[in-house]
Amino acid sequence: SAKQKILLLPGDGIGPEIMEQAVRIIDWLKAERGLNVELSEDVVGGASLAKHDVPIRDEVIAKAKEADAVLFGSVGDPAWKDVPFDRRPEVAILRLRKELNLYANLRPAKLFDPLLSASALKPDVVRGLDLMIVRETVGGVYFGEPRGIETLPDGTKRGVNTEVYTTAEIERVARVAFDLARLRSGRVCSVEKGNVMESGLLWREVVTDLHKREYSDVTLMHMLADNCAMQLVRDPRQFDVMVTGNLFGDLLSDLASMLTGSLGMLPSATLGTPEGTDKQAALYEPIHGSAPDIAGKGIANPLAQILSLAMMLRYSLDRGEDSELIEQAVSNVLASGLRTADIAAAGEARVSTAEMGAAVLKEL
């Protein structure tokens, strides 16, 4: 059968270090399990700015569209903090999401039991936590027009962004959440700020209508975003699937993943259908960022990147068994007590990025 194409985009900061460990596993799967993929790799973010003077080249977007899946590291680099707004490293991931129409970002917040002590929350509050945030990623205030900074007659400035959501944009992401809920506990919590924002009010209306029409078997509740931020701290296990817009999703999913104490282990998938095609596109990336403070030190946790690969194998490459193999290997490594710095308790020994990668390989 034809080779499947995977595009690797390690990006900035710790991205390249952790991607290296994921690639070791891909190599093993090719050698030992008959995985038939063609890898290509390119630069994005600060790395692309350095080499090509843009955060992402059009040909990288084109390659991503052609690929069966994109495995992404992360972007963001303080070295480029003074570039013009449209040239900042973050443009790479924003353009990828937008141009591949990757509208649904699935962000699990799952607590790995051996890491219970790494959470800032009391064990009784988070034990067994396993929720999934579905974040809209090609709309909202991230992309709405008009936007920009204008200079006023008196020389001072005015910064503007526009939050926009349409019925169609809300419906398609809500569908992803309802479908997921059917495979999980059958509960969805939709989050907006409809008591203040009309875009949030429309969000609630559209989700409510869709629910009535097609998903009345799923239990739907609505929550205001400020209350949701509280509830995630007070009692996060009340949630199963959550669905929300781009900006609230950004904050709430980071918050939720921090509750687990295992941010360095959480993968994510962003799914969609590029306009004018009917093929499914997907990008897999760790939930954590580029962590410039520890980049290059060889101490970053590669598990989120490795688990992102596992998600890719299952959802884009139809290789569920390989995916399980990896997840089981990660779980064995953790059970054996191996810890990178981010998940080590005070006084516990810490292994390097490469040692953690090697340990997962060995368990395969």
Site for ligand IPM contains 226 (CB under 6 A): yes
List b or e across 249-265, with b for residues whose CB sees 16 or more CB atoms inside 10 angstroms.
Answer: bbebbbbbbbbbbbbbb
| Active-site annotation holds for 58 | no
Q: Which of 10, 11, 16, 76 binds ligand IPM (CB under 6 A)?
A: 76
| Active-site annotation holds for 142 | yes
Q: Distance of CA 300 to CAs 28, 146, 323, Å?
A: 21, 39, 22
Q: Which of 2, 152, 183, 349 binds its own copies (CB under 8 A)?
A: 152
Q: Which is nearer to ligand IPM, 97 or 339 (CB)?
A: 97
In sign, the C-alpha dihedral spanning 148, 152, 155, 158 is negative
Site for its own copies contains 196 (CB under 8 A): yes
Question: What span, in angstroms and rounded, lies between the C-alpha atoms of 221 and 57?
Answer: 42
Contact in structure between 303 and 66 (CB atoms under 8 Å): no
The tokens for 96 are 């990828």
281-286 and 267-272 strand pairing: antiparallel
Site for its own copies contains 200 (CB under 8 A): yes
Q: Which is nearer to ligand IPM, 214 or 226 (CB)?
A: 226
Q: Which of 42, 68, 77, 90 binds ligand IPM (CB under 6 A)?
A: 90
Site for ligand IPM contains 250 (CB under 6 A): yes
Backbone angles phi, psi at 270, to 5 degrees: -120, 120
DSSP assignment of 209-235 equals: HHHHHH-TTSEEEEEEHHHHHHHHHH-
- Find the shortest distance in angstroms from Cβ 274 to ligand IPM: 19
Binding partner of residue 93 among ligand IPM, its own copies, none, CB cut-off 5 to 8 Å per kind: ligand IPM
Q: Catalytic pick from 12, 193, 284, 315?
A: 193
Binding partner of residue 1 among its own copies, ligand IPM, none, CB cut-off 5 to 8 Å per kind: none
Contact segment (CB under 8 A) with its own copies among 62-70, 155-163, 210-218, 333-341 equals 155-163
Site for its own copies contains 87 (CB under 8 A): no
Helix (H) or strand (E) holding 172: helix 167-183
| Active-site annotation holds for 226 | yes
Site for ligand IPM contains 12 (CB under 6 A): no
HSE, side-chain direction, 13 A CA sphere, residue 71: 32
Q: Which of helix, strand or coil describes residue 194?
A: coil
Q: Which residues bind its own copies (CB under 8 A)?
A: 76, 85, 88, 90, 94, 120-122, 125, 141-142, 144, 147-149, 152, 156-168, 193, 195-203, 205-206, 225-227, 229-230, 232-235, 247-248, 250-252, 254-255, 257-259, 263, 289
Residues that bind ligand IPM (CB under 6 A): 75-76, 90, 93-94, 195-196, 226, 250
